[in-house]
Structure 1
Amino acid sequence: MSLFRVIQYKTENSVNVAKVLDNEQVIPLASPSSLFALASEAVNTQQNLTTLIESKLSEQPISYQQLVSDGSILPPIAHPDPAHCLVTGTGLTHLGSADTRSAMHANIAKAEDKLTDSMKMFKMGVEDGKATVDRAASQPEWFYKGTGDIVQPPYRAIESPSFAADAGEEPELVGVYLNDNAGTPYRVGFAIGNEFSDHVTEKHNYLWLAHSKLRQCSFGPELIIGDLPQSLSGVSKIIRKDEVLWEKSFVTGEENMAHNIANLEHHHFKYAQFRHPGDLHIHFFGTSTLSFADGISTQDGDIFEISIPEFGRALRNPLKKLSDGGDAVTTVSVLK
């Protein structure tokens, strides 16, 4: 399967899109344009996005590494008004790697009254998570992370607030969507994502899941436009002081998911408030691998690295733990 990969980077006066040739070279557009502008043109004029991009490419490749070294790489897409970009996700969606699947199935085989609420929801996905053209399947866990201004570019630090109890990676597949002028959602493409959550807060009480997700995140550097292989294998790492502290492989793609992507998309966009014309959606599809599950506690300066070969270069982000007094009570001003 030939995959169409693009990146977005900042130029002196604007942003530009480039088609990825390989991990060393990219071909930029002849006239700078954002991927958001190109995707908007494509969905509202019913054009093929890859054809549109191909028609605007220059003839001269440039160095991919130079863009990385210059700190020019941006998220592969962004809304010009971050308030019109919604960052969300779904959980309990993945079957896990081979060494965890049997344990999961053993757990869901227990009597219904002995299952936790999380395992009940996971069981629903395993038994009925595949939507078809004729019917939707069971709805997944869903969560809100924030608006577009929480997205950090690849290679830039992900910040953890001072009140956080944990700062852990979540290697995930990300779906990017744009609503046309009539509010119809279109999938622009897929990327590697680091959903980044507070697992200690979530573990304390699963009703604090909503709190644990209100954090920054990152995705990219590359976006794949079009269909993906049914199965994808990747590696998630934590690097501390130039040494690999933790490393684990993970699998994603529909063959490794309890829910198919069509079902996750349906249960997000069935809500009218998510079909506002012109809005951009960044949606995380869930994970099966966490360093937190292996007892890892991250530190300031650790580097998260998530890679899937089909997506080209790895997504890398250092961790920055803030100490801004966020544990103090936030004072709300009162209008009089």
Structure 2
Amino acid sequence: MAFRLLQHRSAEGVRAVIAAKGDSAAFVVGATSIRALAERAIAEGKSLADIVAESGTGATVDIGAELAAGRILAPIDHDDPAHLILSGTGLTHLGSAEGRDKMHREAAAAATKTDSMRMFLEGLEGGKPADGETGQQPEWFYKGDGSQLVGPGEALTMPAFAQDGGEEPELAGIYIIGPDGTPFRLGLCLANEFSDHVTERHNYLWLAHSKLRQAALGAELLVGELPEHVEGASRILRGDTVLWEKPFLSGEANMSHSFANLEAHHFKYDLFRRPGDVHVHFYGTATLSFTDGVRTEEGDVFEIAAAPFTLPLRSPLARADEAPVTVKAL
């Protein structure tokens, strides 16, 4: 049975791990981080569920109240942020080509199909290979290291030079690399991948720039079988008003690529199999407010919710101050 893990920090700064099933939740005895539990599971050749069961649970906890109090952290982190890698794949969902194609069609008006549509159709044809076969590689992008990861309730801050700060509601896979270079999937999180869609729309070759932004993870790490179908809602709140709202779908039944194919094409690179590293890999979305003509403003709040996760991911939008950079010759 699937369950959820959360990371907690008390008002005194003491860290702990919470295990949740259904509406009940309790602290995992002796656990201070999900990463440490995963490393123990790898060392002992056991599953994360086995380690949690062996550790046992203690005091019960109201995770909703702890989230509201600001005591729930992102469900994964690393002591050295440089060893946590944020990356993702796009055009992976059955509806994902429409919005991207709409953005890029005018710039590629002379072509029969945009590169985005071609890539989507190739993924639709070859993104779910049979076991043991290599499927079509997806679009891939780099978002940054652990310094760019924010937890539930924390602001998503766009750079001063950003032209847009837009939500991307999706699932993210959480991985850790074992001592022999084997990638281990810990589970899935609700995520807001967050991008600059105005920059991307200007020229598709600026996609890499548009993705170098922060990203937010929901409170809960879902451990267990990968979900076939995830159905949720993405909304933007401006003050007390719902500015925009739309359902979104994820899970393999709604994707043009399998999770296994996305994982294979990420971890085929040996630089992503460095022992001890943590990876947060965003699986993509088909739902963007930007394609509906929404322009976000500082102070807007993104809210993403989807079962089987029980807590919503809320992230206010902020803009960083100007920070001029001067390169000096030595």
Shorter-chain TM range is over 0.9
| 1:51 Cα deviation from its structure 2 partner | 1.7
Aligned pairs (5 A) from 1:56-71: 56-71=55-70
What whole-Å deviation, never above 9, does each CA across 1:89-146 have from its counterpart, x for those lacking one?
000100028xx69x99xx9xxxx95111111111100111113322111100000000
| 1:8 Cα deviation from its structure 2 partner | 0.7
Specify the alignment match of 2:14 in structure 1.
14
Paired-residue identity, %: 47
Across the aligned residues of Structure 1 and Structure 2, the Cα RMSD in angstroms comes to 2.0
CA distance in 1, matches of 2:307, 2:121: 30
**2:25 maps to amino acid:** V
CA distance in 1, matches of 2:145, 2:310: 27
Aligned pairs (5 A) from 1:148-227: 148-227=146-225
Specify the alignment match of 1:248 in structure 2.
246
Specify the alignment match of 1:52 in structure 2.
51
Structure 1 residues 55-64 or 177-186, which shifts more? 55-64
Specify the alignment match of 2:127 in structure 1.
129
**1:3 maps to amino acid:** A
Specify the alignment match of 1:276 in structure 2.
274
| 1:222 Cα deviation from its structure 2 partner | 0.5
| 1:77 Cα deviation from its structure 2 partner | 1.1
CA distance in 1, matches of 2:86, 2:268: 16
CA distance in 2, matches of 1:229, 1:58: 26
2:295 is aligned with 1:300: no
CA distance in 2, matches of 1:265, 1:240: 36
Are 2:64 and 2:311, in contact at CA under 8 Å, matched by a contact in 1? no
| 1:27 Cα deviation from its structure 2 partner | 0.2
Aligned pairs (5 A) from 1:70-149: 70-96=69-95, 114-149=112-147
| 1:311 Cα deviation from its structure 2 partner | 1.1
CA distance in 1, matches of 2:47, 2:219: 22
SS for the counterpart of 1:331 is coil
Are 2:31 and 2:37, in contact at CA under 8 Å, matched by a contact in 1? no
CA distance in 2, matches of 1:14, 1:46: 28
What whole-Å deviation, never above 9, does each CA across 1:9-54 have from its counterpart, x for those lacking one?
113343211012445x520122242000000111222112112112
Are 2:235 and 2:302, in contact at CA under 8 Å, matched by a contact in 1? yes
CA distance in 2, matches of 1:30, 1:276: 30
Are 2:6 and 2:220, in contact at CA under 8 Å, matched by a contact in 1? yes
SS for the counterpart of 2:265 is helix
Specify the alignment match of 2:322 in structure 1.
325
CA distance in 2, matches of 1:228, 1:130: 15
What runs of 5+ residues in structure 2 fail to find an aligned partner? none
Q: Which 4+ stretches in 1 moved above 4 angstroms?
A: none
2:230 is aligned with 1:232: yes
**2:43 maps to amino acid:** N
Are 1:27 and 1:57, in contact at CA under 8 Å, matched by a contact in 2? no
CA distance in 2, matches of 1:178, 1:52: 16
What whole-Å deviation, never above 9, does each CA across 1:190-249 have from its counterpart, x for those lacking one?
011000000000000000000000000111210101113311111000011022110000
Are 1:165 and 1:200, in contact at CA under 8 Å, matched by a contact in 2? yes
**1:69 maps to amino acid:** A
Structure 1 residues 48-57 or 253-262, which shifts more? 48-57
Specify the alignment match of 2:30 in structure 1.
31
